[in-house]
Structure 1
């Protein structure tokens, strides 16, 4: 077996067309990559959020990590959001092909994807709405309530971007089959075109929430089809070096900021180059990740987090904000942001968030499971699926442009719940349903 075949690992197969197996086995490397990304996001947020109670009674938040001089080059390496979408492209493409081969269509794919993501989000928004209204009635300062409400908006932008990219998978897969490189180049060109006009029309920059993340997702298609696995180690290393060199040139010339957090919102071409680098790095690391993934306790830990990854992602930041807000009301020691004591307290903060996540996962984790009807059930009308998608994106877009407030939480929860009711249950398309005990983070409907 040559080096390229070894790098392909157990999760990449090919059919007669060379476009990948319709029913690939579990990909342990993708499981571990997504677990690493999720863990890094939770850890970094615990190092960023720092509420401060001032002498006049006002409360503000400080992003301690982003204020460090050494952070900008570090975030260049650890900005893992593109890797989320690369992994989403791999699993989404495989899921769509499995569904299509079992007689499904694009509307059924959209129905399953929407249900998997909006049911956990609807529960989060409802709990936050009720909880924050209760806090107002108990006399908590409205400014504190607004800070907690706005904090929930950070996970929601990812949900909107991820949904937009995933819902386009059937169309993008068709284009990918016909002209993979032309499709990728076209999406990248659209990203650059939007970047060129963002100075004159700032709002147009948010269009890249679709173009940019669809382009990065498309890199996952290339991994799933084995294109990157057929490259030699030296070519993959060259791809990593070239993408980072181009990124250095663009930021060095001042065309883009060298702060990847700034480049993330709204996203720009820098994130695509990071995605290229991270996709090639993931391909290089696949043999090692596959070996690590075969360790029983590692597989069990990754599987548990993978099945409840959306619950962890959505709930960790609101729980962090709630915990910090409650601590402000007590005499618990509150070291000044950025001091040595503050840094030493971060492991305790992380532990507190993890402990709070456990009951949240127990209560709401099952909402990530796909509600599947019997094999004889009919799919929802296409109009219902389209309406549900519109109902979901309208409040999210409103919050993105106008900020998230308490009324937005209530309205968003109502819209998400309505969308879930419109979508109903996903009819089974095979004599036997997908195994309920599937453990892989990337085994999706």
Structure 2
């Protein structure tokens, strides 16, 4: 019986090591959902005295609070990042790579697209300022980059922890997850007395959610029955309703996201179980040829889409304020119908941006003749990246910080340098032995440094 269970576990891990089309399709759908939600949130208003204010129309709707329980799909991004991150780490480790190699590749993969965004925004907004655009409009457009940056910081933090958490996961997966949950609850309990402590949950919450992706990658949820999965969905939502109903946490999930708390982790449990439950149907849809073609293009540029869509949306809204084009009042039926062309316009503007800057998401070029950066350089690059992001999180994003962030990101890219080819130190070792008995899938011989987001 035990041998049969181990055989099923090994088989599920073998399948998990392959690229799951359901993950790519869900990530693509979630990106579209995020863009649509932001189109219903961004609403700059130009007043008669020349001042500009913003209205978050979607957040002001009474029906949005319960709907946000379904639409808050940020935890799902981290779950999927845990699946692909663990697979990528195991492939790199099997080829002789180290945790610093993984950190270098992850930093390059995520920082390069952000560097381009900050540099273009800083240059474009300075030109607009010199042309006489009101500073308040400039600040409004600058703020448009703040949300993608906090997500980048949180996602990058979780991804850089993958080698360490993967080691703990292989030794005691459930204990590792439970320990992170305890840390999340402890921080939430102390955030009233020490408010700044709440920001440490930017690490604990998202790492705990990422661990759910680890469990999914290793077949933990696949081995559970449909009844168990439905029970997990029901119980996590009932507990979420309890802690928000007694006012321990806000009922609005958007209010719970920055800094994150236990509510986001409960949502992640529900979403992970739902993803597993709907997996067969999602894979069938992902198998349709034209959908495969769309995902093959858009899936490789997901970070570019996420980083650029909100600044482009804010920029379009700001430019509309400078024209005589009549805009419907926020919240009216005309305004809601106008969200459809706004969404289409954002997608249309994203296409050339992806064509120009999307290649920065390509896998870092491996160079067998080049030495990789030192560990000091990798650590320094990580610190350099997080300095402007932390400043923006605590003090808000300004035009000066936008330029400083672009410079810091560029410096980090220079510090990280070229990517050496990992070389197996034990040429005769089996992959199962490298992974502690866990089977894995090596990349094709011609592929190098093939890490997916």
TM-score tier after normalising by the smaller chain length = over 0.9
Shift of 1:428: 2.5
Say whether the 8 Å CA contact 1:370–1:426 is kept in structure 2.
no
Secondary structure in 1 aligned to 2:248?
coil
Aligned partner (choices 299, 312, 315) of residue 305 of structure 2: 312
Shift of 1:197: 1.1
Aligned partner (choices 279, 283, 292) of residue 272 of structure 2: 279
Secondary structure in 2 aligned to 1:323?
helix
1:249 and 1:76 map into 2 onto residues whose CA distance is: 14
Q: Does 1:211 align with 2:229?
A: no
Shift of 1:433: 4.2
Q: Does 1:370 align with 2:363?
A: yes
RMSD: 1.8
Match of 1:297 in 2: 290
Match of 1:191 in 2: 184
1:199 and 1:337 map into 2 onto residues whose CA distance is: 35
1:107 and 1:433 map into 2 onto residues whose CA distance is: 23
Shift of 1:332: 1.2
- Could you state the TM-score of these two structures normalised by the residue count of structure 1? 0.93
Match of 1:87 in 2: 80
Q: Does 1:444 align with 2:452?
A: yes
Shift of 1:15: 3.7
Match of 1:434 in 2: 447
Structure 1, 354-363 or 421-430: larger mean CA deviation? 421-430
Indicate how the Cα distance of structure 1 residues 405 and 433 shifts in structure 2: closer, same or farther if over 3 A, else same: farther
Secondary structure in 1 aligned to 2:254?
helix
Say whether the 8 Å CA contact 2:229–2:273 is kept in structure 1.
yes
Match of 1:170 in 2: 163
Secondary structure in 2 aligned to 1:60?
strand
Match of 2:120 in 1: 127
Q: Deviations over 1:285-323 (max 9, x none)?
A: 110011111111011111211111111100001100111
Match of 1:267 in 2: 260
1:23 and 1:100 map into 2 onto residues whose CA distance is: 16
Q: Deviations over 1:113-162 (max 9, x none)?
A: 00000000000000000011111101111111011111210100000000
Shift of 1:331: 1.4
Secondary structure in 2 aligned to 1:371?
coil
Indicate how the Cα distance of structure 1 residues 301 and 129 shifts in structure 2: closer, same or farther if over 3 A, else same: same
Q: Deviations over 1:398-445 (max 9, x none)?
A: 110000000110000000000001111222337944289x9xxxx617
Shift of 1:78: 1.2
Secondary structure in 1 aligned to 2:186?
helix
Unaligned runs of 5+ in 2: 424-443
1:352 and 1:435 map into 2 onto residues whose CA distance is: 37
Aligned partner (choices 368, 374, 387) of residue 380 of structure 2: 387
Q: Deviations over 1:58-93 (max 9, x none)?
A: 011111001000000001111000000000000000
Match of 2:323 in 1: 330
1:330 and 1:382 map into 2 onto residues whose CA distance is: 52
Match of 2:334 in 1: 341
Match of 1:35 in 2: 28
Shift of 1:14: 5.0
Q: Deviations over 1:224-258 (max 9, x none)?
A: 00010000001100000000000011111110111
1:138 and 1:378 map into 2 onto residues whose CA distance is: 46
Structure 1, 259-268 or 376-385: larger mean CA deviation? 376-385
1:192 and 1:25 map into 2 onto residues whose CA distance is: 34
1:199 and 1:71 map into 2 onto residues whose CA distance is: 27
Indicate how the Cα distance of structure 1 residues 23 and 104 shifts in structure 2: closer, same or farther if over 3 A, else same: farther
Indicate how the Cα distance of structure 1 residues 295 and 209 shifts in structure 2: closer, same or farther if over 3 A, else same: same
Q: Does 1:139 align with 2:132?
A: yes
- Could you state the TM-score of these two structures normalised by the residue count of structure 2? 0.91
Say whether the 8 Å CA contact 2:16–2:217 is kept in structure 1.
no
Say whether the 8 Å CA contact 1:22–1:94 is kept in structure 2.
no
2:447 and 2:309 map into 1 onto residues whose CA distance is: 29
Match of 1:73 in 2: 66
Say whether the 8 Å CA contact 2:201–2:260 is kept in structure 1.
yes
Q: Deviations over 1:27-73 (max 9, x none)?
A: 01111111111111011001110010011110111110010000000
Unaligned runs of 5+ in 1: 6-12
Secondary structure in 2 aligned to 1:377?
coil
